Amino acid sequence: MGKTKRVVFLASGRGSNFSASVEFIRKKKLKLDILALVTDNPEAKALPLAKKFGISTKVIPYSSYTSKLDYHRDLLHQVEAYDPDLIVACGYMRILKPDFVQRFPNQIINVHPSLLPAFPGLDSQKQALDYGVKVAGCTVHFVWEGVDTGPIILQKAIAIRPEWTEKELSLAILKEEHKILPLAIQLFCEDKLKIKERKVEILK
């Protein structure tokens, strides 16, 4: 196993995937140094979770910027300052700009509540129900330029029950997100992910 990896988390909301990942990292004693939680939302519930874990936080309030370009420039500068090996977007509600993605090639992973490439973007669970699919799920993927377009690392499928509401489907998917995102972080940490063109090989 290689050197200890340095990770920054990006989150905008409740932070349940952040919490599940931190708990997994510490339980497994992974060679991973959690540098910070960075958020665009001063009210993010992920912030008190980070405090509970003793993890540094950085708030870059999106709403205080009159220019989106200024926000994304500052985000890049702040994250660069941490010099991370891995950036984990978990419930981060901003699309990362091309210069950010290019600065950290194949070092950013994201969890998305659909079986990509189906239903990218927002409201994936509603999209799935409206379309009438029988199976939904979640995906952890590398972040490339574009919305939810990067190489897929892990996926988990679940059968949709006919009576489920959007909320019930979302909660069922979220439980699986809490499993596959930490596992993807572990695979990255252990240098077990190899990208060939746009396919991810998981090394033994």
31 is in an annotated binding site: no
Alpha-carbon gap, residue 39 to 169, rounded angstroms: 26
Active site (annotated) includes residue 77: no
Residue 86, SS3 per DSSP: strand
Among residues 28, 49, 55, the alpha carbon closest in space to that of 184 is found at 28
In this structure, which amino acid lies at residue 62? Y
Among residues 159, 142, 160, the alpha carbon closest in space to that of 151 is found at 142
170 is in an annotated binding site: no
41 is in an annotated binding site: no
- Here the tokens at position 103 are 């600065």
Alpha-carbon gap, residue 33 to 195, rounded angstroms: 23
Are the C-beta atoms of 39 and 60 separated by less than 8 Å? yes
Helix (H) or strand (E) holding 185: helix 166-189
- Per the document, the length of the chain is 204
Task: Determine which one of 72, 77, 112, 178 is catalytic.
Answer: 112
106 is in an annotated binding site: no
16 is in an annotated binding site: yes
Alpha-carbon gap, residue 188 to 154, rounded angstroms: 12
64 is in an annotated binding site: no
State the sign of the Cα–Cα–Cα–Cα dihedral 54, 58, 63, 64: positive
110 is in an annotated binding site: yes
132 is in an annotated binding site: no
196 is in an annotated binding site: no
Annotated binding site: 15-17, 68, 93-96, 110
* Residues that are catalytic: 112
